[in-house]
Amino acid sequence: MRKIGFIFLVLFTSLLICCKKETTAEQIKLTSLVNPFIGTDGPGNTYPGATVPFGMVQLSPDIGIPGWDRIAGYFYKDSIITGFSHTHLTGTGAGDLYDILVMPTNSRFTKKIAENNFMPFSKFSHDKEQASPGYYTVDLLDYGIKAELTATARTGIHKYTFPKDTLSQIHIDLGYALNWDAPTKTHLSVVDDTTIEGYRMSTGWAKDQRLYFVIKLSKPFKSFQIFKNDTLTSSPVIATKSKIILNYSTNDNEAIVLKTGLSNASIKGAYKSLEIEAPDFDFEKYRAKADSIWDKELHKIEVTTSNVNDKKIFYTMMYQSMLAPTLLSDHNGEYKGANGKIMKAEGFDRYDTFSLWDTYRAAHPLYTILHPERVSNMINSLLAHYKETGLLPVWSLQGNETNMMIGNHAIPVIVDAYLKGIKNFDVDLAYKACKESSMVNLRELDVYKKMGYIPVGDQNENWSVSKTLEYAYDDWCLAEFAKALHKTADYNYFLKRSENWRNLYDSKSKFMRPKLKDGTFISDFIPKEYSAYFCESNAWQYFWSVPQNVEGLIKIVGGRDAFDKKLDTMFSLDPLPEDKLPVFSTGMIGQYAHGNEPSHHVAYLYDYVNKPWKTQKLVRKILKTQYKNTPDGHCGNEDCGQMSSWYIFSSLGFYPVNAAQGIYAFGSPLFESATINLENGNKFIVKTINNSDENFYIQSVTLNGKVIDRYYITHKEIEKGGTLTFKMGSTPNKKATNTMALSSIVF
């Protein structure tokens, strides 16, 4: 009896421990696993500040010193902070925004330096700095002031805890500018001793930016100084540069909350932002709400792994995938349109910050899985831009077309959404927008239509080869759209255009080679050189940019064996010490550059030549070596969610080689299991058996318990829900590849 009782006691205790562990795991918020500092060092160009998913506000610290490393306003290796501004770009190479800088100070420190244009600043230490989704805090050491930031969709909320001082101040500087940004017209008006309103018009990468704001403070200021172009004046002020300094006497540990409502349409809209989203000064309430919003979004994928570091990277990538596009419209739907007029979004939220050359590849396909309702808003936003300008956007920001980068990549985003059944947008208008944007005589489309390729030109960034390949892919997407709508003539026309990549294929060098207007290839051609003919890439990296017809590319090279060997060379031809690598050529594995988007699908191309184990080995290598849970954890620009979306897809075990095809090629899943909680209520579960750092080769795959003899999953299968199970091993399975390869698919 005693023995039985003892066994029962042990079992019962073990059960309690297990239950306790399970409960503890359930109680851990996924937001606690996010590290917003990933990418703030190295080439990542991310910011650590407070925002909500796809929000208008990105309230983040500014170092105040310009340069490539500080494109997002912040650089982890720096040691000073010049203030906190309300708008930032995530992981781009574009130095814009930084609107409405706020900086608390006091009498303890008055030093000024030329490097930050003689503005107030303070030293800080990472030991006294923290960030989590929707929250950022840092101690301004020279002043003894604790700064805390949080946000709602359209408001930024600051909490400054001051020491005792008779000259505590809050500086609000509309003249502050960094990198490409410059104010053109600013306005400040003191409404009362707790309310300030105004606007900041600026130019930069986006030429016509307008941001209206209302600031309310929890404590009345006792006096203020207001400046017009650095000259002391009285309120109100209209000037190129303006700023105001609010004066306080503070007790020790006294907190002052400052909240800023934003609108790019009107001051009235900014008041409405505050009224609806931040009616009081309860900072902790807004912080908790932001955390809750993020936690809900992060739970759209729940991963299980014993590797805590991988889990933190995954949820940080989930977080960073939702920092753009950003909200543009007010609560009443008004926003500054790309035509310069105040427009109104009827029945949808208007978004902008579309980094389409980057994000069409993986970020937008990810959104169709995780955020289909929001995708319909994004499609309507792209169509709103078309209605305002007559063209779909290329790279739009703050209600502007920046014309940055190349291609017509709103087309694959729209076509992908339509073919996946995304609802609530005008399909006829969408087709019209795609077709008209493809038929205009702008952006060298006239030459492309006439000659079937874009020839070498005189401009510094001719990018002729890249433009030809990107347009050809967009043409394939439009052909598929036409086919789905039974527009046979258009289908045939654009399908023919989608084969224009062939016009630049050189059978002698076996590369896509720049071609002159007379139809001859350039004579001096070294594939690994970075030249004006390739957009931020070289001939090695852009050769593979025919995702619409990989089979055709394989055949033109000489078949599967030749294609396989060319891929092998791609991943083994390391740059030499004397090779000049540009700033965007990072994350190098041979000539593969994971730090730049044209390479992102290339590791998956082995699937098309019956060598999927090579894809599996490379994908796992990229997952493990190009992403880290450290400030320099991105090997290249994060680029508005593309770098993070690659990780999310690839860690789940599949990736959209052709972004608008609705098919995801298998790679090497990273986790023990992952559950995708779909908006339609279904669950798609990815499980692995015998998965480890050594067991990265797929041995077999089942879908809902049935063996599948292919190396891809379809979007429709994911939408239906079910369980995809990978059995993993330490050696390649080379037996069944003839039936499992993607090359057997008839597109």
pLDDT at residue 458, as a whole number = 80
Confidence of residue 461 (pLDDT cuts 50, 70, 90): confident
Residue pLDDT, tens place only, 468-499: 999 999 999 999 999 999 999 999 999 999 99
How far is Cα of residue 303 from the mean position of the Cα atoms in its chain? 21
Residue 740: both structure tokens together? 């499992």
Report long-range pairs for 109-117 (Cβ below 8 Å, ≥24 apart): 109/142, 109/143, 111/142, 115/64, 115/65, 116/63, 116/64, 116/65, 116/80, 116/82, 117/64
Give the pLDDT score at 457.
85
In a domain, 426, yes or no: no
State pLDDT tens for residues 325-341: 999 999 999 999 999 99
- pLDDT surpasses 80 at 12: no
> Does some domain include residue 73?
yes
pLDDT digits (tens, 9 = 90+) for 528-575: 999 999 999 999 999 999 999 999 999 999 999 999 999 999 999 999
pLDDT for 5 beyond 50: no
Return the number of other C-beta atoms located less than 10 Å from residue 150's C-beta. 30
Residue 640 pLDDT greater than 60, yes or no: yes
pLDDT > 70: percent of the chain: 95
- 532's tokens: 């004006």
For the chain, how far is it from start to end, CA to CA, in angstroms? 70
Predicted confidence (pLDDT) at residue 669 exceeds the cutoff of 60: yes
pLDDT exceeds cutoff 50 at 6: no
The torsion region of residue 463 among left (phi > 0), alpha (psi -120 to 50) and beta comes to left
pLDDT higher than threshold 50 for residue 586 = yes
The reply to whether 512 falls in a domain is: no
Least confident of 4-18, 35-49, 481-495, 652-666: 4-18
Express each pLDDT in 63-82 by its tens digit: 999 999 999 999 999 999 99
Task: Tokens for 473, please give them.
Answer: 């892919």
- Starting at the edge strand found earlier in the chain, the sheet holding 237-239 runs 129-132, 135-140, 145-151, 155-162, 254-263, 209-217, 195-203, 182-192, 237-239
Instruction: Indicate whether 741 pLDDT > 70.
Output: no
Query: Tens of pLDDT along 341-388?
Result: 999 999 999 999 999 999 999 999 999 999 999 999 999 999 999 999
Q: Where are the alpha helices (DSSP H) in 59-165?
A: none
pLDDT in the model for residue 27 = 63
For residues 149 and 140, the answer to whether their CB atoms sit within 8 Å is: no
Q: Is 644 helix (H, G, I), strand (E, B) or coil?
A: helix
Residue 709 has pLDDT above 60, yes or no: yes
Ranking 453-457, 578-582, 626-630 by mean pLDDT, the lowest is 578-582
740 band by pLDDT with thresholds 50, 70 and 90:
very low
Per the prediction, the chain carries an average pLDDT of 94
Specify the pTM: 0.95
How many domains, in total, are found in the chain? 1
Band (743; pLDDT cuts 50, 70, 90): very low
- pLDDT per residue over 385-417, tens digit each? 999 999 999 999 999 999 999 999 999 999 999
CA distance 199 to 509: 56
pLDDT of residue 736: 58
The CATH number of whichever domain residue 191 belongs to comes to: 2.70.98.10
Residue 574 is given by DSSP the state P
SS3 of residue 589 by DSSP: strand
Average pLDDT rounded to a whole number, residues 48-53: 98
116 part of a folded domain:
yes
Predicted confidence (pLDDT) at residue 747 exceeds the cutoff of 60: no
Does any domain span residue 383?
A: no
Give the residue numbers spanning the domain of 200: 31-298
Percent of the chain with pLDDT over 90: 93
In this predicted model, which residue has the larger pLDDT, 747 or 707?
707
